Amino acid sequence: MPNSKLQAKEIRFMSRPRGGPSPENVAVVTVDLPDLQPGEVLVRNSFFSIDPYMRGRMNEGKSYILPFALGKALDGAAVGQVVQSRDAGFPPSAWVLSFCGWRDYFVAQASQLRVIDATQAPPSAYLGVLGATGLTAWVGLNDVAKIKQNETVFISAAAGAVGSVACQLAKLRGCQVVASAGSAAKVAFLKNQLQVDCAFNYRESDPLRQLEIAAPDGLHVYFDNTAGPQLEAALACMRNHGRIVMCGAISSYNAPAPGPQNLHQVIIRRLRLQGLLVADHLHRMPAFLAEMVPLLRAGKVLHQETVLHGIEKAPGAFISLLQPGDAHIGKLVIQV
């Protein structure tokens, strides 16, 4: 089954950014694909995911995941369709999830792929509301914060991939949801589409003042996607024995910043702060999907995504994702 004439476009990592990433850190390259060997599958990507954690992988040094290698294609979650296959488990046209994003075609071992059910939901949903970001929100609320009905939950970066699912799940659990985001359009989305109880623009108003107004009796839970000034504001508004899910710290990914000045509130209020890495919770995927697919199909959870068209859009989209107030709402994906 020769496909040596088939070429693929990939985005390669060329240099490590200092501060914010720039277009010069990557290059779009055309490569020849190898002939298929037994057990291998040729896939055409349809969508791939753009995620904030990728900024951390651009740095050198030990972390929970290997740094991106210079001169190699970037990678990340992607969904696509099998074009040719030398593995019986992956017939042509099957939809598959892989970690081979940032390219249009690729050849992989069958073991690197997972079949997804595209009759249950649009394939791109497996990168967002039914994928790692949805699972992050679900695990963060259920397993880490252990939210209960009638609790007040504050969620930052609330109009994004993790935040928008967290807002919806917390509302479905009967919580009061206070949400923050970086633009008027996102605040309108949170109020009108996600029906949160209160939403504010953290760039145009003081988060501490907003939280004091929205939650006069204090916060039971803070789902922290940003760290920085919003974490400091939340610490000052937590109820005794409140829980903070340390999910993300996007305010410091491009420029590390000192921690909150009021960390002693953890002691005064007897708070529990717990870090969350979704990779530790992949065994929860079946339970997560068992709840989320019916919710999605019943229209009780919204599959909100921003789709940018063309692989060349990926570097700019990634650079923008790391900026406060960036334009995308829900999960950001590239349609190849």
Q: Which long-range contacts (CB under 8 A, 24 or more apart) does 118-126 make?
A: 120/293, 120/297, 121/293, 121/296, 121/297, 121/303, 122/303, 123/46, 123/47, 123/79, 123/95, 124/46, 124/47, 124/79, 124/305, 124/307, 124/331, 124/333, 124/335, 125/296, 125/303, 125/305, 126/79, 126/97
Q: Is 248 in the site for ligand NAP (CB under 6 A)?
A: yes
| Residue 99 · residue 75 · CB < 8 Å | yes
Build a one-symbol-per-residue string for 301-330: x at contacts with ligand NAP by CB under 6 A, - elsewhere.
--------------------xxxxxx-x--
Please, what is the minimum distance in Å from the beta carbon of residue 331 to ligand NAP? 7
At its nearest, how many Å lie between ligand NAP and the CB of residue 234? 13
Nearer Cβ to ligand NAP (152/225): 225
Q: Of 65, 257, 277, 282, which lies in the binding site for ligand NAP, with binding defined by CB under 6 A? A: 277
Closest among 334, 279, 275, 331 to 301, alpha carbons compared: 331
From candidates 45, 152, 210, 226, binder to ligand NAP by CB under 6 A: 226
Rg (CA), the chain: 21
For 68-104, give one letter per residue: b (16+ CB within 10 A) or e: beeeebbbbbbbbebbbbbbeebeeebbbbbebbbbb
Site map (CB under 6 A) of ligand NAP, residues 143-182, x = contact = --------------x-xxxxx-----------------xx
Part of the chain binding ligand NAP (CB under 6 A), chosen from 10-18, 80-88, 205-213, 276-284: 276-284
The residue type found at 280 is D
* Nearer of residues 26 and 54 to ligand NAP, judged by Cβ: 54
In the set 45, 124, 133, 176, which binds ligand NAP (CB under 6 A)?
Answer: 133
β-bridge partners, 78: 48, 98
Pick between residue 20 and residue 174 the one whose CB is nearest to ligand NAP: 20
Question: In whole angstroms, how far apart are CA 218 and each of 77, 174, 204, 234?
Answer: 37, 17, 22, 9
Which of 176, 251, 265, 304 binds ligand NAP (CB under 6 A)? It is: 251
**C-beta closer to ligand NAP: residue 106 or 202:** 202
- Nearer residue to ligand NAP within complex by CB, 42 or 167: 167
**Interface with ligand NAP (CB under 6 A), residue from 186, 220, 243, 303:** 186
Site for ligand NAP in 45-74 (CB under 6 A): 51-53
Residue in 76, 52, 163, 181 with CA at minimum distance from that of residue 127: 76
Residues that bind ligand NAP (CB under 6 A): 51-53, 133, 136, 157, 159-163, 181-183, 186, 225-226, 228, 247-251, 276-278, 321-326, 328, 332
